[in-house]
Chains A and B, each alone.
Chain A
Amino acid sequence: MPHVLHKKDFWAGVLYIVFGAAAFWIGREYPMGTAGRMGAGYFPTILSVILMLIGLLSAARAFAQEGEAVGAIAWKPLAFVVGSTALFGLLLPSAGLVVALLVLILVSAAASQHFRFDPNAAAGLILLVAFCTLVFVKALGVPMPLVGSWFGE
């Protein structure tokens, strides 16, 4: 068994193949049509095949060429940043903008090693929430509830 020398190329290849295969698999239901009257499936099928080929090429190249290792995945920032964003979406209609913002800011900030909840941070937090309320809701009229359905009207 030959060694994977270029880990990044290998995994990138796998990523392309996965996306290509998924697009191909889902797209097989769309009508192909003809070159003159292309159906909805024509373009996606061609593209997903090309993507899979590029993926194979990239993965194959990984056995021939040396390259860097992928390195450790930063799970904590990844989970905190992605998670806090999703939480914001979840909380916005139910808990309202103020709570959603507090959660988004505090959870995402906790991903940093320098995170400390001191008076400075608290002041920044209040300022940011106030700014968003004034600018987005009051001035621009973005339809976001300040207080969500959980707390009555």
Chain B
Amino acid sequence: MAEKDYIQGATGPWEIVIGMEVHAQVLSKSKLFSGASTVFGAEPNHQVSLVDAAMPGMLPVINKYCIEQAVRTGLGLKAQINLHSVFDRKNYFYADLPQGYQISQYKQPIVGEGKLLLDMPDGTTREIGITRLHLEQDAGKSLHDQSPRETFVDLNRSGVALMEIVSEPDMRNSEEAGLYLKKLRTILRYLGTCDGNMDEGSMRADVNVSVRRPGEGLGTRCEIKNVNSVRFVQQAIEYEARRQIEILEEGGQIDQETRLFDTGKGVTRSMRSKEEAHDYRYFPDPDLLPLELDGEWVNQIARGLPELPDEKKARFIEKLGLSPYDASVLVAEKESADFYEKVAKGRDGKLCANWVITEYFGLLNKSGQSMDDFVITAEKLGGLIDLISDNTISNRLAKDVFALMVETGKDAATIVEEKGMKQVTDTGAIEAVIDAVMAANADKVAEYRSGKDKLFGFFVGQTMKASGGKANPNAVNELLKKKLAG
């Protein structure tokens, strides 16, 4: 581990160790063990079956598609798929846990060890181990702020399928934790197994943080529960690491506990209501049987996997000549990668990447619109890039054209035509401009000819200016050199 990652305490350097448990809501129409809808935002208790409300005698029946989604995710994380797995009951009492237990997977999860690659800003990658992935039910929702004396309970979420994805404690700073969460989200969205919508709670992270002296064994960890954005995850880690270091440096010790991140104050605090030691009394759910998967079925899912971000990135680098950084920017969202590929089809990959990343994303962000709604389609951007490639307009002028495209909705060719922005490649016309420039600056011509080479740039600028930016820069260069030489 690089020393730059160490935190300098009063008594020397400390290393942070981070592992994450991410709860990702499975993208499915109905719940894991009941036929109620999973759509977000319904009226309270309107998407609840009698199974979700744990009425007496109600029984769970598993959703096949949720199993398929878990397997798909496991394959996407290059993980071991366990053909035999078991659903257990995790027993505890809570107002929004109607059964008094959560159906989860404890000792035998559906997915075993896998890995995830972080794309570091310097273009390198770093591997983070995935310990396991298992399927479980979500709980309902308790609302504490509706009444002074009561908590309101809504069971719409109760029974929705979650994947709990557990990482190894492989991360060493908050930046890596942020990258991990982003990359996991990207993979899930590529696979279509989770919408990754953190605002709606589709992805929540429990973050395990501990600190240690470099080279020493793992310290005691604290678990920060239910953090729901990348920024909060990073803030929580920064705060928690400092807190632990402070305690240790004062000779104290860390209590293994569950903490909450207070997003308002930016601090973590102990969850008092969970103070009582838990004993979840896991045992196999007798209402269900062990889950046996068919190996051929798993292979079939594997064959149907889409190209994932790592593979896409590698292809962009190898086949299209992009830099690792540009490639990882483009693959971060499947939508962007797809857009880029449409633009780059039959065109220069690097030129297209520059245009998509710098110009297109720039104006898109400024517009505040989604890619679907934005006036610039892949075809339109492609049309503009074609005009650059065939020397109709210069790269510089193209930026003006692009701004007009956003403004007017017209395509590049029309704008260039209407505004007469076509690049001048006719050498006669350019020579005439150069002659005029040289005549107007006879003193500078003399200086140049007496050895002041640096003035060449001045003549290029003046020529381009006089041509209204339309002169082909290459032709200007060539002709100027010839003429100035005398």
Do A and B come together as binding partners?
A: no
